[in-house]
């Protein structure tokens, strides 16, 4: 009887081990909650749908447990629908060090029926102030769209679905402001930014619409974990580090040109009040 029990237990262990190996990592295996556990929900198959909430009491945030050094990192986001004025959803890579490196997507909410603004920024060695802002060609609160970073030793590309919306290139002129030394985590947060986000802070949050919910799915990372020397030294390069990923394709250059001419509403490189002589990287990144 006892032997049968032990055998049965061993079989159960073996089966659940096999299942654990098969199923993709869960939210808890990939991420940790940074603030407000009770404002973060995971649902869906294998906990694959994540929701961040903001109400009068709190916003919330999660981050990946691992830090990455180069790679392609992506998630699908669906932003707060309806009246989202004053609400900011930030989705970014950050080294979280004193002299931090950071790549930001920040979604600035708006009054119902008015479009979101997508702000991007690049921090290198603790210095940011490289904002660009664009309007999107779709309503980001209606459906999930992919927001991705491609990061190798040649350039950093911000993608919205398959469309590049920003490039930060490495050249001899930009080596001091390129990001290549600090591993970064993927972080997302939702918070009250009604002091500045919508029409310069004139539009306040309408709390009658709370809780404000941003949803996340399809976390993908194809890259090197911090400290994985074998990955970094890999000579049979992964796709994101092959020559074809070292620069934009002709089609991508064209698509970026369309985004800049049709959807860009602000570029620090073109802000001559703020930057009478444009920062060095502005000469190699698209104008
Ligand atoms: C959930 O896990 C099962 C394996 O246990 C897998 O077949 C399925 O594709 C997973 N679903 C999602 C949405 O990841
Ligand atoms: C966890 O990360 C892996 C990629 O490393 C991904 O395939 C899986 O879907 C992720 N799970 C969740 C719940 O995000
Ligand atoms: C909100 O909508 C107004 C009017 O369409 C627009 O000017 C503004 O850029 C939008 N975004 C924000 C964050 O204010
Ligand atoms: C090296 O890259 C190849 C191609 O992407 C991949 O199959 C292999 O797992 C990588 N090796 C290491 C150690 O990361």
Q: How far apart are CA 149 and CA 140, in angstroms?
A: 18
Verify whether residue 106 is a known catalytic residue. Answer: yes
Which one of 152, 225, 234, 239 would you pick to mutate in the ligand 4 pocket, going by the greatest count of ligand atoms within 8 A of its CB?
234
Q: What is the pLDDT of residues 101-111, one digit of tens each?
A: 999 999 999 99
Q: Whose CA is nearest to atom 6 of ligand 4?
A: 238
- How far, in Å, is the centroid of ligand 2 from the Cα of 62? 14
**What was the pLDDT predicted at 8?**
53
For the chain, the average pLDDT equals: 91
Which one of 85, 87, 135, 198 would you pick to mutate in the ligand 3 pocket, going by the greatest count of ligand atoms within 8 A of its CB?
198
Ligand 1: nearest atom to the Cα of 48? 13
Q: What residue spans define the domains of the chain?
A: 2-283
Q: Which residue has the higher pLDDT, 284 or 116?
A: 116
Among residues 2, 96, 102, 247, which one is catalytic?
Answer: 102
Q: Does the global pTM surpass 0.95?
A: no
Stated as kind and residue range, the H or E segment containing 14 is helix 2-22
Please calculate the CA angle 200-91-66 and round it to the nearest 5 degrees. 150
CATH class of 2-283: mainly beta
**What was the pLDDT predicted at 203?**
96
Ligand 2 pocket member 48 (CB < 6 A): yes
Instruction: Provide the percentage of residues in the chain whose pLDDT is more than 90.
Output: 81
Distance of CA 83 to the CA centre of its chain: 23
Please provide the distance, in angstroms rounded to a whole number, between the alpha carbons at the two ends of the chain: 77
List phi, psi (to 5°) of 191.
Answer: -155, 165
Which one of 15, 16, 17, 23 would you pick to mutate in the ligand 1 pocket, going by the greatest count of ligand atoms within 8 A of its CB?
23
What is the number of the ligand closest to the CA of 86?
3
**What was the pLDDT predicted at 30?**
92
pLDDT tier at 10 (50, 70, 90 boundaries)?
low
What is the number of the ligand closest to the CA of 117?
3
Ligand 2 pocket member 25 (CB < 6 A): yes
> Where does 4-54 show beta strands of DSSP type E?
31-35, 40-43, 49-54
């Amino acid at each position: 009887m006892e032997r049968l029990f032990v055998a049965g237990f061993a079989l159960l262990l073996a089966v659940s081990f096999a299942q654990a190996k098969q199923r993709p990592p869960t939210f808890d295996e990939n991420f940790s909650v940074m603030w407000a556990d009770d404002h973060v929900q995971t649902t869906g198959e294998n906990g694959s749908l994540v929701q961040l909430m903001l109400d009068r009491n709190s916003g919330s945030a999660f981050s990946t447990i691992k830090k990455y050094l180069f790679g392609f990192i992506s998630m699908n986001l669906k932003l707060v629908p309806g009246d989202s004025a004053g609400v900011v959803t930030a989705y970014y890579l950050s080294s979280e060090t004193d002299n931090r490196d950071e790549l930001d997507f920040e979604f600035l909410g708006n009054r119902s029926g008015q479009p979101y603004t997508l702000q991007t920024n690049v921090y290198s060695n603790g210095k940011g102030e490289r904002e660009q802002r664009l309007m999107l060609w779709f309503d980001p609160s209606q459906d999930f769209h992919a927001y991705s970073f491609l990061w190798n030793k040649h350039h950093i590309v911000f993608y919205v679905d398959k469309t590049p919306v920003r490039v930060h290139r490495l050249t001899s002129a930009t080596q001091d402001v390129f990001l290549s030394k600090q591993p970064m985590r993927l972080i997302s947060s939702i918070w009250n930014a009604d002091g500045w986000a919508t029409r310069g802070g004139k539009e306040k949050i309408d709390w009658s619409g709370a809780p404000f919910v941003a949803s996340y799915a399809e976390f993908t990372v194809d890259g090197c974990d911090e400290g994985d020397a074998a990955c970094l030294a890999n000579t049979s390069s992964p796709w994101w580090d092959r020559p074809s990923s070292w620069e934009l394709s002709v089609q991508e250059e064209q698509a970026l040109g369309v985004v800049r001419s049709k959807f860009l509403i602000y570029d620090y490189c073109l802000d001559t009040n703020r930057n009478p002589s444009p920062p060095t990287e502005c000469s190699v990144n698209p104008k």
